[in-house]
Copies of this chain bind each other. A is one copy, B any other.
């Protein structure tokens, strides 16, 4: 068989801690980078043999010219802990790009890009790649990250839970406080945020496009681990479920139950 896709052994170009607990990893993986689109993700594999399952991490940015991919991730469990130790020249096994990203020619002319917490990284790549009118709304617990870079791609509004910057509260508070409007919302973040945005979109007649998360095993549609509930019967699965890894992670909010 020709034209098969392969896991890539990526080289670490650099890695820094952006803010406590959040790492900024730059890897060189030309084949994967070449195919990547905003909203897609990679499966990252651990070196430690006791950890078999991939860690899905969204593509935060790519440089197609140098073949670099940027990943921004939170150190939570053992796998991300392992990744956080990687230094320049070390390698990491990756598979991707996986899933369906955000529509880049979406058929509307203005969009609010809304991110929350560790859902923010893929939105940088999206903001860079989407050439329509963009307003950015990012919610953080307290310390902000990626905000300066995001601000280069549209007006940026910030919400922090502790009120240390921008609107005190969540992204909805920031949207309302600043009276922001757009034809549509594209969002990534925790489920409660996505749920609130879906309602907000319905109330304001805006299309809402969201990126979902679920625990995965294969990352390529084969194991049915990562399903979310869909409002309609999925054409392929023949039940009211969709695979986050294959039909998603990006869905029209109307398609899925939150």
Contacts and interface: CB of A to CB of B under 8 A. Distances in A.
A49 interface: yes
A47 to B, nearest CB: 8
A49 B52 CA distance: 12
Interface string A158-198: 00000000000000000000000000000000000000000
A238 interface: no
A3 interface: no
A104 B80 CA distance: 50
A48 B46 CA distance: 10
Contacts of A50: 48-50
A50 B48 CA distance: 7
Contacts of A48: 47-50
Contacts of A47: 48
A117 B50 CA distance: 33
A51 B48 CA distance: 10
Interface string A29-58: 000000000000000000111110000000
A199 B2 CA distance: 64
Contacts of A51: 49
A119 to B, nearest CB: 30
Nearest to A78: B49
A171 to B, nearest CB: 39
Nearest to A49: B50
A52 to B, nearest CB: 9
A83 to B, nearest CB: 15
A249 to B, nearest CB: 29
A210 B49 CA distance: 37
Interface in A76-109: none
A49 B51 CA distance: 8
A42 B50 CA distance: 24
A93 to B, nearest CB: 15
Contacts of A49: 48-51
A49 B47 CA distance: 10
Most buried by B among A47, A48, A51: A48
A125 B32 CA distance: 52
8 contacts: A47-B48, A48-B48, A48-B49, A48-B50, A49-B49, A49-B50, A49-B51, A50-B50
Given A47-B48, A48-B49, A49-B50, 4 more contacts: A48-B50, A49-B49, A49-B51, A50-B50
